[in-house]
Structure formats: C-alpha cells, structure tokens
Amino acid sequence: MCWFHELVAALFEIVRREDFSDVTYLLEIFHPRLAKAAKPGQFVIVMEHDRGERIPLTLADFDPERGTVTLVIQAVGKTTKEMQARCPVGTSLHALVGPMGNPSGIGDARKVVCVGGGLGVAPVYPQARAYKQSGAYVIGVIGFRSKELMFWEDRFRSVCDEFIVCTDDGSEGIKGVVTAGIEQALAQHSDIDEVVAIGPPIMMKFCAETTRPHGIRTVVSLNPVMVDGTGMCGGCRVKVGDQVKFACVDGPEFDAHAVDFDDLMARLRRFAASETAALERWQESCRVARGG
Amino acid sequence: MQEQDPKVRATNFAEVACGYTLEDALREAERCLFCPDEPCIRGCPVEIDIPDFISKITEKNLRGAYETITDTNLLPAICGRVCPQESQCEGVCVVGNTLEPVAIGRLERFVGDLAIADGWESVPYVEPSGFRVAVVGSGPAGMACAADMAKAGCDVTVYEAFHEAGGVLKYGIPDFRLPNAVIDAEIEKLRQLGVTFECNTLVGRLFTVEELLTELGYHAIFIGTGAGAPSFMGIPGESLAGVLSANELLTRCNLMHARDFPEYDTPLQAGTRVAVVGAGNTAMDAMRVCLRLGAATVNCVYRRTRNEAPARAEELHHAEEEGIGFNWLTSPVEILGDEDNNVRAIRCQRMELGEPDESGRRRPLPVPDSEFEIDIDMVVYAIGTNANPILGQTSSLRLEQRGYIVTDESLATSIAGVWAGGDIVTGAATVIEAMGAGRKAAKEMKSYLGLRDTDVVYLPERAGSAGKRFGIDLQEHNYARVTA
C-alpha cells in the first residue's frame, strides 16, 4: 500500500466539496483503507466534532485510486446543517468509521431498475454502476421535487441503458414521483429481475407497493437511527416479515416486500423533539454569532 | 468507605464510593490475618498476590503494593471498582467466616487511584521482540492481552470501532461507578508501554481477520470484541419510541454524553417513570442512570427473586438505597403505547419459582391470572446480550451455534495465529473474567511466538545440577526479557 503518488491529505480530511443546492452537498473524504474496502450498499458513521453525534450515511461513491470516499448529505437537522457550515475543503472530520453493513448482493440479475429518490440518488448510484459492470441491463429512475434540486443526472445516466427522470412539479422529465417511472419501466419491460430503491421511507414504501403485484424482487436500503453501527445498541431494529433485524449488521438492505415501513417511520421520529430543540438552539447561536 | 449520600448522589454522575483515605486503608489492611492457606489468591481470576500487597500496605510501602498488584493486573483502579469481589477474593476470605471479609477490592482501588494521582509509572525497559500483535477490541480482555504482549516486547496495536478506546468500560459502565478519567489513565499506562490504539477501525469490514495476518503482517492476533448485541423479549410493543436496550441508553449517556445534551449533540429522551427489565449489573447501571437523568420513579422488573439477581451485592445495595423500586417475581408480557407511539404502561405477570433448571437456579413459572399494569413512559431491556455477528460474517472463524467464537482450552481459534477471549467466547461475563481471558491468551500467544513467559519465576534447581545445566549457569539460562 503506497499512497504517496496519490492524494496527500490527513485521515478524514475533506479533499473536495460540491454544493448541489442550498440543502444538498457532497463531501469527498480522504481515507484510503476505507476507499479500498468499501462496496456498494455499505455505509459509514461520521462525527463532525468531539461533541457531535454519530450519524450513519450510505456511501455515495468510493475511489481506491484517489483513496477517497464520497458522501452526499442533506442539511436537515442540527448536525447536517452544522457540517454544511463547518466542513470546507481542508478541514477534517472528528471520526469516520466503516464500511459498515453487508454489501449489496450484486447478483446475476440481467435486467435491473435502480431507483433513487432525492438524496437516495447518491447511494443507489454505486449499485447501478456495479450492475452495469456485471453486464446487466440497467434502467435508472431518479426523482426530485423539482429540476433545481437535481444532481448527478449525467453521472447516473452514464451507467444506465435507459434513464427516466421524474419531478414532482414536472419541471424535468415525467411529472410525478418515482413510482410513475417504475410503472413506465414495468410497462415497457416484462423481464425485469430486480428493483433497487433508495430514498425516503415513504418513497421506498410506495416502490414496494408498485412492484408487489408483479412479484419482482425489490430491495431497499434502510437508514434508521443508530449509535454505534456495529450491532451493539439495537436502536436500528426494524421489522422485516415476522422478524426483528438490526439494520446495521443484518442490513442495511432488506426485501422491500417484507419491511414494515410504518414501524420504520415511527421509529425515525423517536428523537424528533430533541432534534428540533437542538436545531433551534444552534440556529439561534449562529444568529447571535453573526450579531444579528 | 465513605459514600455520597443516596439522595444527593441520585442527582449527579459523580462517583458514589469516595474511596479510602490512607488511615482507612491502613485500618482495613490490619484486618488481614495473613492466613497460610491464602484462599483469596485462588479466588482471583488473575491470581493477584493479595496477602503480599496487603502486607505492603501495612508497612506503608504503597508503591510496593502497587507493583505487586501490577505484576498480574495492570488495571487496579478499574478492577478495584468493578470486580464482583464477594464471589471472588472476598467471598473466600477467612476473616469473612466470622466478620466482614477484608475489603480487598477497596484496598486495590486505593492503591490504583494513588498510582494515577501520583503518576507512578512502572514502565520497564522492554527489549523489542520483533513480533507484531493485533488486538481487536479495546475493552478489558483486549487491554489485558495488549499489556502482557507489550511487556513481552511485542509491537501491539489495539483496534477499536468506536472513536474512543475502552470498550464496555467506556460506553457501558457509568461514571458514578467507574469514572472515565480512571479508564483514560489506565489506557495512558498502556500507551506508555508502547501500545498503539487505532480507533474508528471496524475489523472485519475495514480489513478482515485474515488480512491482519496476511496483508498487514501481524504475527499473532487476539480477538476480544465482547458480546454486544442486545436481547429483546419479543413481546408486543417493543418498537414503541420509549423502548430501548440498556446498551443504547448507557452508550448515549456515557460515551456520547447525552446527559449533557444540548452541549453534546446526542439526544436521549429521558423517561419520567421508567421500568428496567433484568437485575444484573447492567440493569442496575441503567436504573441508576435513569434516576440521575431525572426520572421520578424507576422500577426494576425481574422474573426471579433478589437471591437470584446476578448483580454485584454493592450495586444492588446502592440501587436500593437510591430508591429504585424492585418488582421481584415479575415478568413483562406486553408494552402498551399511546396514539403517538410512546410508551404508556407495561403489563406484567407474577411469577413463582419452580424446580431448578439447567443453570441450577429455580425456574420462574407464571402465576395464572396475575397480570397487572405499571404506568411508565420508558422501558429499558437489560436481559443479556448475544454474540456480535460481524467477525462471523466476515471471516472463516469457527463459531458455535449461538455465534460465539469457538476456541480450545488455550483460547486458540480455528485460524492459526488467532486467539479469542472474553464475552465473544463465553457470553456475557465480568470485566475481570475478560481480563483473565486476555492474559491467558497472551500467555499462549507468547509461547506460540517462542517468547519466554516472563511472569514465571524460575528458581535455581537444587542439589545435583551444581547450579549449571548444559554448562550454562541457571540464573543466566533463565534470563528475563523484561529488565527494570
């Protein structure tokens, strides 16, 4: 392992950053060993600073040559907004651990639909690429609220044989949510082996309902609240069929037709009150710091 | 030993037991009979020479006492606090036949704390052996193994998945029982011995156990990853928002400092009326943490009686003093929620003890028509743990049915050059048992690497050999690798 001729950076250093919109940003982070070990479908846990919380993020990309991993993050809560404000290129994260979870089973499916909703476009991209590399026919479906929020369209398109864009407001592609795109693909192809859908839980729930009548194997990636990510806290337990699974070590990918999405969504709200309080307090402190 | 008043301490995270003064320690040490049988040494999983260190305390040779303890146990400040002494050294103390046994644990802690406070370093000059050793997991088993291998001159790296070293001592045991500063001081001692700690490293996923041997070039590996995965009961209502494992509660509170939210970012929805299921040390920790987080009532729910409760006597006693309510012979059947997915109550049934089961304890049996509800808003499960699955998923290590690593009596695993010990082999046990396993594995690893076990004192043979064998003076033959 010699990395001298590659990037020279500190461990966990942010070497590239892209801001897709006011709320969505990309961090490329230096961690050669992680870049080498990572596989599609896996996630990492990051801590921005020593008083921060540990947040799980699914890998959007990894580059063993550059020795980096890429995360695409949506600034929704205190931690992710703070990272947005405090993580320019050249700064380092306090902690980055992974890759966690089981890699996606890029199996022998010959025709696959890869569905990414909003931020979910990022983690489903490495899977679409892996399927393409395995020789499968890949149909990409991406969905955003509107054209302005879109990112990685070209990148995603380049690993797909067919590509369907959906926007809620119709500003690009089909007017509607990703299930409209899935239905279009299903109507045109009778031989789809597998659907991979990553996005908000409600989106994944409806994707599962869309494919269920067709009996097509459908995989979703779950991102519940977790602390350690190594199977120790049990906070990430999800109901799959009649079993309780830990998303961090049994997942994060599960059979969409067996996942209890309502239970998942309820459990994602466990800390809603604290999260709101933390965000308000942080925004207030920013306002004070700006002297406003 | 002086303790914080129960009413006061139930509102803070400072240590409950204040520790001995020198006068206390001298008085207690004088109680030792120095009996010839020395049952206490055999009662100790790492066989500390207890009478010797106590006699040194009576001579006010405290540094000497520290050195006696650290001959076999590098972490006295931790063990003095968390060992279940009543079932080990103190349980077999001869004084205990008629009076209170000698408080060996408190004396050990006194010496360990003094060493930290005065910065005693018993760091020997260690001649490098040229061997590289990897330890997976920085908990008590890993720390003990790392210490012994480092003392034998090995270049030791300890891998930890969390962002801080210490394992269960850090995330699990609360500050009022084992302050983080004590753990950090003991870890610092290992660093001084030359041990490297690599945090944020998930072995199995970042690299496999096999890669540690091949690509990363380690000569021997010890696995001490702990049991980890928490158990739930599988009764209705367990996915409600206020239901969590003791591991999650304790990790949020201890390691992630959720008790200082929002100064620290990790939240913890503290309950006002809490039920904790289980009666082991973890359950006691969870209950007392909830009390300190501001709960008005905390109830222990346990299906057997106080006699069968697995917690240390002192923990149980402290919990009772602090006002925890105990529901013995009680088992939950359902957790009831409200429309917002929060916990509203726990429905339990009464139990009675039947015939002894395979563990030798009398089996609890439900009493018909005995169901009742306790109004609560949070349920914490502390009913044991299962094997952590990650190394099983990612290596060819042989596992037994429940997922624990299979070892032979020398703690060797199915992969040559890899040993394992602690909870990942035995299932949930105590800190000192894990340390004992770490040391036992270290002994075997040293022999595997061809390193002389420096713990053994080699006495010159008597008549006949004339003090020489193969023409080499025996003193010289039995060289010690560790020199002062």
pLDDT in tens, chain A (292 residues): 444 445 567 789 999 999 999 899 999 999 999 999 999 999 999 999 899 999 999 999 999 999 999 999 999 888 999 999 988 998 999 999 989 999 998 878 889 999 999 999 999 999 999 999 999 999 999 999 999 899 999 999 999 999 999 999 988 888 889 999 999 999 999 899 999 999 999 999 999 999 999 999 999 999 999 999 999 999 999 999 989 999 999 989 999 999 999 999 988 888 888 888 888 888 888 888 776 4
Interface size, chain A vs chain B, as Cβ–Cβ contacts under 8 Å: 129
Cβ contact B267–A271 (<8 Å): yes
Cα separation of B201 and A239, whole Å? 29
**Tens-digit pLDDT profile for residues B369-388:** 999 999 999 999 999 888 88
B161, B247, B267: residue with CB nearest A275:
B267
Q: For residue A291, what pLDDT is reported?
A: 67
Name every chain A residue with its beta carbon within 8 A of the beta carbon of B261.
274, 278
User: Residue B232 burial by CB count (10 A; 0-12/13-18/19+): exposed, middle or buried?
Assistant: middle
Q: For residue B123, what pLDDT is reported?
A: 64
* Residue in A113, A116, A119 with CA at minimum distance from that of residue A57: A119
Token pair in block for residue B314: 């002192």
Residues 6+ positions from B40 with CB-CB distance below 8 Å: B50, B51, B89, B90, B92, B93, B102, B104
Q: Does A274 touch chain B if contact means CB atoms closer than 8 Å?
A: yes
What's the ipTM?
A: 0.89
Name every chain A residue with its beta carbon within 8 A of the beta carbon of B207.
33, 37
The pLDDT averaged over each successive group of 10 residues in chain B (484 residues) is 82 84 90 90 87 91 88 83 84 89 91 86 75 95 92 93 92 88 88 92 94 94 90 91 93 90 86 93 93 92 91 88 93 92 93 86 90 94 90 90 90 92 86 87 91 53 47 46 39
Say if CB A239 and CB B239 are below 8 A apart: yes
Token pair in block for residue B433: 């048992």
Cβ contact B393–A274 (<8 Å): no
Helix H segments across B73-224?
76-82, 104-118, 140-151, 168-171, 180-192, 209-213
Q: For residue B478, what pLDDT is reported?
A: 43
Token pair in block for residue B451: 């390193």
Q: Does B245 touch chain A if contact means CB atoms closer than 8 Å?
A: yes
Q: For residue A237, what pLDDT is reported?
A: 92
Cα separation of B448 and A178, whole Å? 59
Question: What is the sign, positive or negative, of the torsion defined by CA atoms of A156, A158, A160, A165?
Answer: positive
Residues 6+ positions from B258 with CB-CB distance below 8 Å: B252, B264, B266, B267, B268
Q: Does A193 touch chain B if contact means CB atoms closer than 8 Å?
A: no
Cα separation of A153 and A128, whole Å? 13
Cα separation of A245 and B394, whole Å? 18
Q: ω before A213 within 30° of 0 (cis)?
A: no
B205, B234, B390: residue with CB nearest A37:
B205
Cβ contact A278–B265 (<8 Å): yes
B228, B251, B257: residue with CB nearest A231:
B228
Q: Are strands A194-198 and A243-246 parallel, antiparallel or unpaired?
A: unpaired
* Residue in B393, B248, B206, B197 with CA at minimum distance from that of residue A96: B206
**Tens-digit pLDDT profile for residues B263-279:** 888 888 878 899 999 99
Q: ω before B6 within 30° of 0 (cis)?
A: no
Token pair in block for residue B24: 């206390």
The span from the first CA to the last CA of chain B, in angstroms, equals 35
Report B:126-155 residues touching A (Cβ under 8 A).
none
Say if CB B277 and CB B244 are below 8 A apart: no
- Report the SS3 class of residue B61: coil
Distance from CA of B390 to the nearest CA of A (A): 7
Cα separation of B481 and B449, whole Å? 14
Token pair in block for residue B98: 């008629």
- The torsion of the CA quartet B404, B409, B412, B415, rounded to 10 degrees, works out to -70
Residue B364 — left, alpha, or beta (φ > 0 → left; ψ -120 to 50 → alpha)? beta
Query: How many other C-beta atoms can be found within 10 angstroms of the C-beta atom of residue B319?
Result: 26
Say if CB A185 and CB A164 are below 8 A apart: yes
**Mutation for A interface: B266, B282, B394, most A CBs within 10 A:** B266
CA atoms within 13 A on the CB side of B140: 28
* Residue in B122, B127, B89 with CA at minimum distance from that of residue B105: B89
A33, A239, A277: residue with CB nearest B262:
A277
Name every chain A residue with its beta carbon within 8 A of the beta carbon of B161.
97, 228-230
Distance from CA of A232 to the nearest CA of B (A): 5
Cα separation of B294 and B42, whole Å? 42
| Chain centroid offset of residue B212 CA | 26
CA-based nearest residue in chain B for residue A243: B234
Q: For residue A3, what pLDDT is reported?
A: 44
Say if CB A163 and CB A156 are below 8 A apart: yes
